């Protein structure tokens, strides 16, 4: 399985009754595949996984795998702050036929480094599906250290990580240690921050799990492909062009701006699950202005 390229952290479309909208979800999958992305992630943070029931979580994974039908890499969000629950979700993802499972570091518990290592090792030892570790300290309160990441990279089924810590000094150290330990070639690092994708690829990352690619899949994929081909000047030009969009999609709690943008673009995805609510009027005007500047509305 090749995890290089642009993978979309998909929003989860909801209907007027706030239930998962299967038709809208299938249409969104088609829209993104037509945008030449390399992979799709269902039930990640941007997919409001924290407010999906277990049954809904499984449903969106099943819909993704069925609708993608082998056209792109399918990644199932399978994380939890409970190791037992994470094991259940990873096992379901494997049985459902996902290509990989994305597992966030346990949130709120604030476990020790060796506790997080044991969490991932248990998932590694009890499943055969490739696992992507997801490090996002701004949301979880914990940060996988370089040493812990290298130890995870030595496990057979921990094949990649989504790194959303914006510390590029840490990232440079990580790539150095991965190479020293002869695991760089077997372990894929993916950016977890859209705006840092180009510099992260320059350091050794192989792609991104992206939010902006929900809205501008083709143009963002073009940027990633330029960077992966070593054409950093063209990649930088596109990164500069898209920076305002990458920035505004986090002007309020994600995925509120992304869902609003898609709805304005006539790619209907419905509303949000509380406690995340609709955008305030002032920020909505800013978002609409940027969408107009990019000729999206």
Pairing type for strands 100-104 and 188-191 reads: unpaired
Q: How far is residue 294's CA from residue 216's CA, in Å, rounded to a whole number?
A: 10
Indicate which residue of 24, 59, 162, 259 is catalytic.
Answer: 162
Which residue, 148, 156, 155, 159, is CA-closest to 112?
A: 148
CB atoms under 10 Å from CB of 184, counted, come to 18
Contact in structure between 293 and 244 (CB atoms under 8 Å)? yes
Catalytic residue among 134, 184, 206, 259: 134
Annotation marks residue 24 as catalytic: no
134 noted as active-site residue = yes
Selection from 40, 59, 57, 39 nearest residue 49 by Cα? 57
- In degrees to the nearest 10, what's the CA dihedral of 79, 82, 84, 85? -50
Contacts of 212 (CB under 8 A, 6+ apart): 194, 220, 242, 245, 246, 249
8 A C-beta contact, residue 143 and residue 172: no
Contact 38, 6 (CB under 8 A): yes
Distance CA 236, CA 95 (A): 40
Q: At 159, phi and psi to the nearest 5?
A: -100, -10
Catalytic residues, by residue number, are 134, 162
């Amino acid at each position: 399985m090749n995890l290089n390229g642009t993978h979309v952290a998909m929003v989860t479309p909801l209907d007027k009754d706030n239930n998962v909208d299967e038709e809208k979800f299938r249409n969104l999958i088609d829209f993104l595949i037509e945008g030449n992305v390399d992979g799709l992630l269902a039930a990640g943070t941007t997919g409001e996984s924290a407010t999906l029931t277990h049954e809904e979580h499984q449903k969106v994974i099943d819909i993704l795998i069925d609708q993608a039908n082998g056209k792109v890499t399918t990644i199932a969000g399978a994380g939890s702050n409970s190791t037992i629950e994470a094991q259940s979700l990873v096992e379901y993802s494997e049985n459902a036929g996902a290509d990989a499972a994305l597992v966030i570091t346990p949130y709120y518990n604030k476990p020790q480094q060796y506790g997080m290592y044991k969490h991932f090792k248990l998932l590694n030892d009890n499943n055969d599906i490739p696992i992507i570790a997801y490090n996002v300290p701004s949301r979880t309160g914990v940060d996988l250290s370089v040493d812990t990441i290298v130890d995870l990279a030595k496990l057979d089924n921990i094949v990649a990580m989504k790194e959303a810590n914006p510390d590029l000094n840490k990232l440079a150290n990580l790539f150095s240690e991965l190479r020293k330990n002869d695991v760089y070639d077997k372990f894929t690092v993916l950016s977890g921050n859209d705006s840092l994708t180009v510099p992260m690829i320059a350091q050794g990352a192989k792609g991104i799990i992206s939010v902006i690619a929900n809205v501008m899949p083709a143009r963002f994929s073009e940027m990633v492909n330029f960077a992966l081909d070593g054409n950093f000047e063209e990649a930088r030009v596109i990164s500069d062009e898209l920076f305002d969009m990458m920035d505004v999609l986090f002007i309020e709690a994600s995925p509120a701006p992304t869902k609003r943008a898609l709805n304005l673009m006539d790619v209907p995805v419905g509303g949000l699950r509380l406690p995340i609510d609709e955008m305030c009027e002032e920020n909505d005007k800013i978002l609409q202005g940027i969408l107009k500047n990019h000729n999206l509305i």
